[in-house]
Amino acid sequence: MKKYLTVPIIATVFMALWVLKGLVFLPKVEADKPDIYGFAELPVLLDGRTQPIDSTARNAMRVIRHKSTALRKEGDKEKPYPAVEWLLEVAAKPELARSRPVFRIDNEEVKDHLGLAKDEKHFSVDEVAAEKNFQRLAKDSARIHSKKAELRTPFEKSIKGVADSLMIYQRLAKSFRPQHSTDFKQDLDEMTRIFP
């Protein structure tokens, strides 16, 4: 009988420690700085499931960049930063977010197909969706989607991955905008004028 109780007791202890760790080890935020960690804990509904916005950001980044952090250029180096901070940029500073090199593309054929630099592996939304790339990706993705997964070439798999990543980015970016807004910045300026 004791043997059957051991596993639930151990699981309960680990769960309690995990919850306490989250409460104890949250970084302290200065009063004049935005509370990124508080924002990270806000619940969102995504695909019928409630989760912290941090999980949404990390999961999106895992698809887009294959890691749970985003990248930003500081001088001539690329430095990682929290995915939730990137998602906050997508919401509040979309122009800046579009310039961040977060899309990872390793396939040389895909880089050539999209006119991207072959010596780089991280690209911004502006680079990936430049000129006719967006339409090209949509057309290629539709063609590839109709093909069985096991019959796809590495090029096709990579193109589909880039198209899926771009779709996730667009979905996240549009989730922070009013549905029928054509110029979000102008809408915000108007709201600021009305409600100072």
Residue-wise pLDDT for 135-169, tens only, equals 888 888 889 988 898 999 999 999 999 999 999 99
Residues above pLDDT 70, as percent of the chain: 87
Q: Which of 13-27, 35-49, 86-100, 170-184 has the highest mean pLDDT?
A: 86-100
pLDDT of residue 37: 83
- Residue range 63-79: mean pLDDT, rounded: 88
| Number of helical H runs and strand E runs in the chain | 10, 6
- Under the banding of pLDDT at 50, 70 and 90, the label for residue 31 is low
Break the chain into its structural domains and give their ranges.
35-181
- Distances from the Cα of 178 to the Cαs of 27, 91, 147, in angstroms? 33, 12, 35
State how far the Cα of 132 lies from the Cα of 130, in Å rounded to an integer: 6
Backbone phi, then psi, for 49, in 5-degree steps? -130, 135
Tell me, what's the pLDDT at 2?
Answer: 60
CA dihedral sign of residues 16, 21, 26, 28: positive
Q: What is the mean pLDDT of residues 33-44?
A: 84
